[in-house]
């Protein structure tokens, strides 16, 4: 039996970007939410190619971090007595 190379393709497992996951987690952690967009933007750059996965984590971390940071900044600068 000869191997002719027409068998199933072997896919390399992509590693998930640690920055993308960290940004997502920070975005959900209340007072640490301002760190979320920073780490997530780094994750967006890291997941641009095919080497690393986790782009959805990076996008979600950017959006959620921004949504949770804006009220936190408004409260800190304007509503705090």
**Tens digits of residue pLDDT in 22-66:** 999 999 998 899 999 999 999 999 999 888 999 999 999 999 999
pLDDT at 24: 98
pLDDT at 4: 65
Question: Above 70 in pLDDT, residue 5?
Answer: no
> Would you place residue 6 in the very low, low, confident or very high pLDDT band (cuts 50, 70, 90)?
confident
Sign of the Cα pseudo-torsion (52, 36, 59, 40, in order):
negative
pTM score, whole prediction: 0.79
DSSP-derived secondary structure letter, 9? P
Sign of the Cα pseudo-torsion (37, 38, 41, 42, in order):
negative
> Would you place residue 80 in the very low, low, confident or very high pLDDT band (cuts 50, 70, 90)?
confident
């Amino acid at each position: 039996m000869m191997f002719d190379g027409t068998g199933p393709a072997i896919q390399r497992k992509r590693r998930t970007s640690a920055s993308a996951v960290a940004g997502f987690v920070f975005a959900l952690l209340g007072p640490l939410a301002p760190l979320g967009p920073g780490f997530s933007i780094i994750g967006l750059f890291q997941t641009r190619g095919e080497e690393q996965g986790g782009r959805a984590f990076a996008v979600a971390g950017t959006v959620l971090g921004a949504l949770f940071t804006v009220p936190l900044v408004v409260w800190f600068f304007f509503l705090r007595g």
